[in-house]
Amino acid sequence: MKDSIKIEVIDREGVSSTIETKVDPENNLMEVCKENDFPIRGNCGGMALCCTCHCYIHSDHSLKGKEEIEEALLADSFYYKDNSRLVCQIPITKDIDGLKIELAPDN
């Protein structure tokens, strides 16, 4: 795939899969995960309002910092960890090529 990146996703059963997607900064990782049949609800449609796309970052990528609303939602999550993020807030850019995430338990 030209101008594509690969992302490793560990599902809630611990199974690891690598997905490939086109670079598209207008798209986000939540949509890519849903397109690849990962069980992410994304109830708010990617607006960082619900925390149903919570994941853990397991690679050393330098991601854009968390906005205040994302930080607040994650801090209130029962499954919060220091490496928690909302995948709806991660745009599909070349910078995330090789990113490794794990889906958090479903809230």
**C-alpha to C-alpha distance for 89 and 69, rounded to whole angstroms:** 11
- CA 80 to chain centroid, in Å, comes to 14
**C-alpha to C-alpha distance for 100 and 94, rounded to whole angstroms:** 14
pTM: 0.92
The reported pLDDT for the residue numbered 1 is 52
Assess contact for 16 and 7: CB atoms under 8 A.
no
Assess contact for 61 and 98: CB atoms under 8 A.
yes
Question: Which CATH number is 41's domain given?
Answer: 3.10.20.30
In the chain, which residues have pLDDT < 70?
1-2, 107
Q: How many domains does the chain have?
A: 1
Question: CA neighbours within 13 Å on the CB side: how many for 50?
Answer: 14
Residues 6+ apart with CB under 8 A from 3: 22, 23, 94
- CA 71 to chain centroid, in Å, comes to 14
The reported pLDDT for the residue numbered 24 is 97
The reported pLDDT for the residue numbered 2 is 66
The reported pLDDT for the residue numbered 33 is 97
- Residue linked to tokens 């220091």: 82
Domain span holding position 84 = 4-103
